[in-house]
Chains A and B, each alone.
Chain A
Amino acid sequence: MGITFIMVFPLLWMFRVSLSPVGSLSISEIWTSSSYTLSNYYDLFTSNNMGLYLFNSILVGLIVTISNILFCFTVGYAFARFQYITNKILFVTIILVLMIPAHIIIIPLYLICLEVGIYDSYLALILPWLVNPIGVFLVKQYIDSLPISMEEAARIDGASELRILFKIIMPICKPALAVLAIQVFFTNWNSFLFPYILTQSDQYRTLPVALALFQGHQAIDWQHLMAGSTISVIPVLVIFILMQKQIVSGITGGAIKQ
């Protein structure tokens, strides 16, 4: 029980502080006090740009997730079913990326975005993350486990390759694609380093970036900061509670197959 308390307390604390009125209570009083208010949340949307940051996070998160579902599927299919050179090239590239620590591309990616002219725009937040190598691997493994006879039968019936791909294979891959979608969305939703260094203006800030930069005034306005944090945590917690099984299988699946 003690461990559970330690694990859960910080998040409860965040929620409690976000509901307490600004400035009136000392730290030790907040937990036991009975004054609750939603005005911190209200302020964030009226006198702060919280609505914009939330919109940015959702927009970027959805585009990246949808594109990953589509592209990880097509690439994973090519990887699983075509035995030619493509397969080998794909394997080498994916292993390479999994081994490269992300810190090494911070500077070059920043320079590329400046050079190409997508620095400080939605494109900088989206383009580099359209296909995720781990996602490709996940889909590849799933398609490997499907019998090839189904596609061959469809091919003999004269179905086009596109039809086979999207009408026959894709629906079967739904479980794998769901796992992939959740992981990609979470990673993107929580991502900070790259959105921070690839954008500059307030207009393109996502939630984590906005929250990290919210500080920096003389005294930290904890009530509003924690309200903003709660807003960024809630979608993740809701998805987590609804889709726990898929999330857990996504995490453990990769590890155990090693």
Chain B
Amino acid sequence: MKWYKKTAFLLALPWLVTFVVFWLFPLVYSFIIGFTDYELLSDSINWVGFENYKTLLSDEVFLSSLSNTFIFVFGTIPFTTIISLLLALLVNGNYKGRDFFRSAFFMPSVTSMVVIALIFTNLYQRGGYIAMLAQMLGFTTPEYGFLFDKNTALYSIMAMDIWMSVGYYMLIFLAGLKSIPDELYEAADISGASQSKKFFSITLPLLRPVALFILVVNSIKSFQVFQEIFVMTKGKFDTSTAVYYIYDTGLTTNFQFGYVSAAAYILFVIIGLFSLTQFLLIRRRQSLW
């Protein structure tokens, strides 16, 4: 059966090559240069051990980017998750126009992030639509627009991100709702359970695997927030995030490849630990119930 193995190998080759050249090699490469002082124009590359990591942990620009990333992740995920669950419940019923609502909610998710960020830059600008609405409701708005103020810029971007992603997670929640067997609800009806009782003891517990999937996917994505920052503020007004820092330090100003590779690995470890914790927490709760 030698031809058999050969065929399998040949068929798999395109992926194996892509994997080695564009994933495995970069992964190992950036890990190694994270321990060197490699810069664009340096004559020699020196091994510096954990020096980059030590410097990073006292680099205020990096630390504030990291803390902005945490604000972004923890400030968006609860809202995104809860709103998308509510939307899923809303479009789960059987009524006319239901499919229209689903499409309308989902539409932002297929639109390019750059385009969305541009539209919201317009909406958030001084004298823009959102400022106008806020003033009508009696709020004071930042003088130079929401994106040009330290106190509002990051939160405005976060609000946009929630708006953009709820439709996508709504669809996933919807698929989760569909996979709950009707018999459970029928049985609950027979024993006279109230609507809220059914929600809290059938729907919510059975959605846990889907919720876990959403939390993990969304946090991995949110930890890497970059495009909206690039388009809307270029990291100004206290909006720089970890990936923006990597881009800014590594590819626009200093070209310190070794240093930012170490920064990328710090973020990598944070994302890994975070996903693992979510996974363990939700699994433990499941066994308690």
- A interface residues, Cβ below 8 angstroms from B: 3-4, 6-8, 10-11, 13-14, 17, 26-28, 71, 74-75, 77-79, 81-82, 84, 86, 89-90, 93, 96-97, 99-112, 127-128, 130-131, 133, 136, 161, 165, 186, 189-190, 192-193, 197, 207-208, 211-212, 215, 220, 222, 225-226, 229, 232-233, 236-237, 240-241, 244, 247-248, 251-252, 255-256, 258
Q: Are A130 and B14 in contact (CB under 8 A)?
A: yes
Q: Please indicate which of the listed interface residues B113, B114, B268 has the most CB atoms of chain A within 10 Å of its own CB.
A: B114
User: How many interface residues does B have (CB within 8 Å)?
Assistant: 84
- Shortest A58–chain B CB gap in Å is 14
Q: Are B111 and A236 in contact (CB under 8 A)?
A: yes
B184 contacts the other chain (Cβ, under 8 Å)? no
Provide the bound-state CA to CA distance between A111 and B132, in Å.
46
B289 contacts the other chain (Cβ, under 8 Å)? no
Contacts A100-B27, A252-B171, A255-B175 given; does A106 touch B247 at CB 8 Å: yes
Interface-side segment among B48-56, B190-198, B218-226: B218-226
Chain B interface mostly: helix
Residue from A84, A96, A97, A128 in contact with B5 in the complex, judged by beta carbons closer than 8 Å: A84
Provide the bound-state CA to CA distance between A6 and B120, in Å.
12
Q: Are A251 and B132 in contact (CB under 8 A)?
A: no
Residue from A4, A7, A78 in contact with B11 in the complex, judged by beta carbons closer than 8 Å: A78
Q: Are A77 and B226 in contact (CB under 8 A)?
A: no
Residue from A75, A111, A161, A232 in contact with B257 in the complex, judged by beta carbons closer than 8 Å: A111
- Shortest B196–chain A CB gap in Å is 22
- B interface residues, Cβ below 8 angstroms from A: 4-5, 7-9, 11-12, 14-16, 18-19, 21-27, 29-30, 33, 87, 90, 101, 103-108, 110-123, 127-129, 132, 163, 167-168, 171-172, 174-176, 179, 209-210, 213-214, 220, 223-224, 226-227, 230-231, 242-243, 246-247, 250-251, 257, 260-261, 264-265, 267-268, 271-272
Q: Are B247 and A77 in contact (CB under 8 A)?
A: no
- Shortest B19–chain A CB gap in Å is 5
Q: Please indicate which of the listed interface residues A3, A7, A99, A215 has the most CB atoms of chain B within 10 Å of its own CB.
A: A7
Q: Are B22 and A101 in contact (CB under 8 A)?
A: no
A-B contact pairs, 16 of them (CB 8 A): A7-B104, A71-B14, A77-B11, A82-B5, A90-B15, A93-B15, A100-B268, A101-B223, A104-B267, A108-B30, A189-B112, A190-B111, A207-B112, A212-B227, A237-B111, A240-B107
Residue from A27, A226, A237 in contact with B119 in the complex, judged by beta carbons closer than 8 Å: A226
Q: Are A103 and B246 in contact (CB under 8 A)?
A: yes
Task: Tally inter-chain residue pairs, CB-CB below 8 A.
Answer: 240
Q: Are B210 and A256 in contact (CB under 8 A)?
A: yes
Q: Are A229 and B110 in contact (CB under 8 A)?
A: no
Residue from B112, B121, B172, B257 in contact with A192 in the complex, judged by beta carbons closer than 8 Å: B112
A8: chain B residues within 8 A (beta carbon): 104, 107
Q: Are B213 and A258 in contact (CB under 8 A)?
A: yes
- Shortest A164–chain B CB gap in Å is 10
Residue from A99, A110, A215 in contact with B251 in the complex, judged by beta carbons closer than 8 Å: A110
Q: Are A101 and B267 in contact (CB under 8 A)?
A: yes
- Shortest B84–chain A CB gap in Å is 12
Residue from B14, B108, B210 in contact with A131 in the complex, judged by beta carbons closer than 8 Å: B14
Q: Are A10 and B119 in contact (CB under 8 A)?
A: yes
Counting from the closest, the 8 A-B pairs by CB-CB distance are A108-B26, A252-B175, A82-B8, A78-B11, A190-B112, A105-B26, A208-B114, A71-B14
- Shortest B48–chain A CB gap in Å is 17
Provide the bound-state CA to CA distance between A133 and B132, in Å.
46
Q: Are A103 and B171 in contact (CB under 8 A)?
A: no
Q: Please indicate which of the listed interface residues A93, A107, A241 has the most CB atoms of chain B within 10 Å of its own CB.
A: A107
A83 to chain B: closest residue by CB: B8
A78: chain B residues within 8 A (beta carbon): 7-9, 11-12
Residue from A77, A90, A186, A212 in contact with B230 in the complex, judged by beta carbons closer than 8 Å: A212
B260 to chain A: closest residue by CB: A107
Provide the bound-state CA to CA distance between A232 and B114, in Å.
10
Q: Are A7 and B167 in contact (CB under 8 A)?
A: yes
- Shortest B181–chain A CB gap in Å is 14
Q: Are B26 and A186 in contact (CB under 8 A)?
A: no
B117: chain A residues within 8 A (beta carbon): 212
Q: Are A7 and B105 in contact (CB under 8 A)?
A: yes
Q: Are A229 and B115 in contact (CB under 8 A)?
A: yes
- Shortest B75–chain A CB gap in Å is 19
Contacts A78-B8, A128-B22 given; does A101 touch B271 at CB 8 Å: yes
A236 to chain B: closest residue by CB: B110
Provide the bound-state CA to CA distance between A110 and B104, in Å.
38
Q: Are B168 and A131 in contact (CB under 8 A)?
A: no
Q: Are A105 and B12 in contact (CB under 8 A)?
A: no
- Shortest B86–chain A CB gap in Å is 9
- Shortest A3–chain B CB gap in Å is 7
